[in-house]
Amino acid sequence: MTFKNPHALVDTQWLADHLDAPDVRVIDATYFLPVEGKTARDAYMETRIPGAQFFDVDDIADEKSPLPHMVPSAEKFSSRVRKLGLGDGVRMVVYDSRNSCCAAARVWWTFRYFGYEDIAVLDGGLGKWIAEGRRVEEGPVEPVQERHFTPRINHFIIRDKQKMLNNIERKREQVVDARSAERYRGEGTEPWNVHKVGRIPNSHNVPFDSLIDVENGGTFKTAKEISSIFEKAGIDPRKPMVASCGSGVTASVLAFAAYLLGNKDAAVYDGSWAEWGSSDDTPVE
């Protein structure tokens, strides 16, 4: 069994071979939760893959929303990525500093939401790159030439609260929760300001890090292994599904994995538990 969309995942050797290609752009999507007390931009300045541009997940977001890092308007997204030299006609590769690539998958999904398909995730991320002794850089970033980005919003791969509420009754889509088993059961601590714990009714649990092979440089597990993990959780990743998590970041890992297996319309509930757990009109199990 092999991935149906293998182009979305590139290994470190591929990137090393193409790092200096004129049409390749590298994106550092490192992200930390507020409770972790770390700054992603500082981590980027300390160590990054040469030429990588920093994509700030919290900044390139909807500043009018009270929820964390919701997708921004097409105008804001286009303006911000253009200044990073990320635009039409280039091949993008995104990574983060965590081997489980949670934020890299979020940035991959965000570009796809705005209609850009020529983007891949670096398998194993910065951790594997460094472990292999590949070159890195630090310090101030060289200015880049701006590049026009044309947004074409893909409404098929995003869900809001109302659509999630409707789905509880209609059950047209499988709902899969990327949080830990403890948080899924309502036993863990939520990092966001919510007044409810538990899960969305009828949802299934596939912790995002269960798809990562920590014994093999933090790369994604094989197609057969990932498919089996979904199926054991009661999910057919090739059928309509929407992923949720704490705030829409790790849910993107599940959407990415489903995409690898052939499901190009696997969606993300953007507000996730940060919205569901803070709303008065949302049922929980």
The closest of 111, 102, 44, 98 to 71, measured between CA atoms, is 111
Instruction: Give the tokens for residue 92.
Output: 């993008």
Rounded to 10 degrees, the C-alpha dihedral 165/117/114/70 comes to: 60
- Radius of gyration of the chain measured on its C-alpha atoms: 18
Please tell me what DSSP assigns to residue 236. -
List 245, 253, 257, 267, catalytic entry: 245
The answer to whether the CB of 127 falls within 8 A of the CB of 213 is no
Q: What are residue 268's phi and psi, to 5 degrees?
A: -120, 135
101 is an active site residue: no
Other C-beta atoms lying within 10 Å of the C-beta of residue 197: 17
Give 93's contacts (C-beta < 8 A, 6+ positions apart).
Answer: 10, 15, 24, 25, 26, 27, 119, 120, 121, 122
Write out the catalytic residue numbers: 245
